[in-house]
Amino acid sequence: MIELFEDTGEFWLPDNPSVKVGGTVSYSPGERPKLRLTGSFRSLEEEIQSIGQFKASALEKIVLGRTARARNITLYKCQDAGKTVDLEYGGTPEKWMEASALFKGAHFATEEDIQFTKITVELSHLDEWANLFVVDPNQCVYDSKARTQTVLYQIPPPLEIELNGHWKIRLALEVSGPALSRPQKGISVESRTCIELVPPAPCPFEKLIRELWTISSLVSLATQQTVFPLRLTGRACVSSGEQAVDDSGASVDVMYYVPELERPSKELVPPHDMLFVLTDVLGDPSFHIRSWQDATQAVRSVLNLYFAELSQPRINLEPRFLRLIQALEGYHRRKIEHTELPEEKHEKRVQEILEAVPEKYARWLARKLKHSNEPNLQTRLSDICKKYRAIMNRISRKGSWIETAVEIRNALVHQKEDARQFDIDEILTISERLKLLLDLCLLTEAGFAATEIELLIDRYWRRNPPLLAIDSKRMML
């Protein structure tokens, strides 16, 4: 997926294989797969009519192809991206299409056929997080007399983990090398850490991608970086379709739109700059990943806000603050049970209040009291701080910063003219404390105990000390 791809061939629709159209299929990282056809699957009259109609572009669920280099090609969910029709010189239409996914190496005749028995993926920052490939300098001995240099390394055995629903993960190292060149000027050994995801039965591609997100998001939490697929290969499992039977069990390269690939970060993240690394979960890796699987279901919207925060480090201060506040509110609502009264007592109290007011005001008051049993923002933040009191007391022993956080939220949301104006350093400091709270919550969701979280935070702070305040003038530069 990080490599350019372009090939020419002929393409057709599964339900009409007799009409084959020449064209070029291409893929660039950070873009959708594209197909340029020098003709059309439809008649000239249908193409001319579609140009003058104001309607959504036609969608072809499946387009099959056969190219010179890649051989079998399947394009999934192809949308018209533009067309031209030359009426004067023969009327040959030229069409451009964009696909949701490109499968290189197999034909899938129907949407139901797009199933895999496993996928193998290389993720950004996975090498640094796993840190499996380590060459010991003491084993690379240079013999000055014989003038020989020994390069010795050992490939560790794969790590196999069982997940919920009998899914399995296999974390392994692929080493290529030593690579030789002519003339011989150097020698190199390269390693890639890959994840193999195996479902209990042949699984649709889109479900596999959702399960893959569970793993990549856990690595993203650990590395504090946006983690995304760099390469993805699947083992096809085709069950029907004349064009597809021969491809059952084929190795299929998968390419689809990943926005982060447009400008991928080439910087390595040192393991000591991470919240946690692979060795921190090796005691019971299945437990940690299963815990995170449950979290991705229970607090998915919270995770979406959190990872949006990681993917946009340069976002303006106010939107970042509001995003963190919203994520913490959502986490408290889903994971921490707290109401002023038990639900039955609250309903009884509301009913008594409504019966005591004039009937003409009862409906209006009922709407006002609909969420009256829910805690306010200050209570929610205080509840989470109490859960992590040992760590939060090291940031600030006073709870007044929570009141300030509520004031900032109200000022930004309600936009009142007489609202207090807050300095940049104050908003920044509060935002960092909210980010810390959210980190602590998600470490819990990843299966770490309170004592383990304190050790992880201590280690992280040695390299990334907590931000307590910052000079506002310096921030402006």
Contact at 8 Å (CB) between 17 and 10?
no
- The CA distance from 263 to 285, in Å, is 32
Q: Other CB atoms closer than 10 Å to residue 252's CB: what's the count? A: 23
Contact at 8 Å (CB) between 25 and 102?
yes
Range list of H helices, 84-166: 126-130
> CB burial class (10 A; 0-12, 13-18, 19+) of residue 398?
exposed
More confident residue, 371 or 275: 275
Confidence of residue 307 (pLDDT cuts 50, 70, 90): very high
Q: Is the pLDDT of residue 41 over 90?
A: no
Contact at 8 Å (CB) between 157 and 175?
no
Q: Is the pLDDT of residue 241 over 50?
A: no
What is residue 464's DSSP assignment? S
Radius of gyration over every alpha carbon of the chain, rounded to an integer in angstroms: 28
Task: Name 204's Cβ contacts closer than 8 Å, sequence gap at least 6.
Answer: 114, 115
Residue-wise pLDDT for 441-470, tens only, equals: 999 999 999 999 999 999 998 887 766 544
Q: SS3 for 364?
A: helix
What is residue 105's DSSP assignment? S
Domain with CATH 2.40.10 in the chain: 5-104
Question: Among 271, 194, 268, 205, which Cα is nearest to 230's?
Answer: 194
The secondary structure element, H or E, covering residue 431 is: helix 424-445
pTM (whole model) above 0.95:
no
- The CA distance from 181 to 189, in Å, is 13
- The CA distance from 37 to 13, in Å, is 13
More confident residue, 197 or 138: 197
Separation of CA 172 from chain center = 21
Between β-strands 148-149 and 203-204, what pairing exists: parallel, antiparallel or unpaired?
unpaired
Confidence of residue 395 (pLDDT cuts 50, 70, 90): confident
- pLDDT at residue 311 in the model: 84
Contact at 8 Å (CB) between 294 and 283?
no
Beta bridge partners of 182: none
102 CB-side CA count, 13 A:
31
More confident residue, 336 or 323: 323
Between β-strands 71-85 and 188-198, what pairing exists: parallel, antiparallel or unpaired?
unpaired
How far from 410 is each of 28, 46, 202, 252, CA to CA, in Å?
44, 56, 50, 52
- The CA distance from 71 to 8, in Å, is 10
Q: What is the 3-state secondary structure (H, E, C) of 303-350?
A: HHHHHHHHHCCCCCHHHHHHHHHHHHHHHHHHHCCCCCCCHHHHHHHH
Q: Is the pLDDT of residue 23 over 90?
A: yes
Q: Is the pLDDT of residue 247 over 70?
A: no
Contact at 8 Å (CB) between 107 and 244?
yes
Q: Other CB atoms closer than 10 Å to residue 191's CB: what's the count? A: 17
Task: Name 311's Cβ contacts closer than 8 Å, sequence gap at least 6.
Answer: 226, 260
Residue-wise pLDDT for 330-356, tens only, equals: 999 898 877 776 777 777 787 778 778
Q: What is the 3-state secondary structure (H, E, C) of 382-410?
A: HHHHHHCHHHHHHHCCCCHHHHHHHHHHH
Task: Please compute the mean of the pLDDT values over residues 284-305 and round it to a whole number.
Answer: 93
Residue-wise pLDDT for 45-71, tens only, equals: 665 565 555 444 567 899 999 998 878
**450-463 and 424-445 are packed helices; what angle lies between their axes, rounded to 10 degrees?**
140
Does domain 5-104 fall under CATH 2.40.10? My reply is yes
Q: Is the pLDDT of residue 242 over 80?
A: no
Contact at 8 Å (CB) between 211 and 197?
yes
Name the average pLDDT for the chain.
85
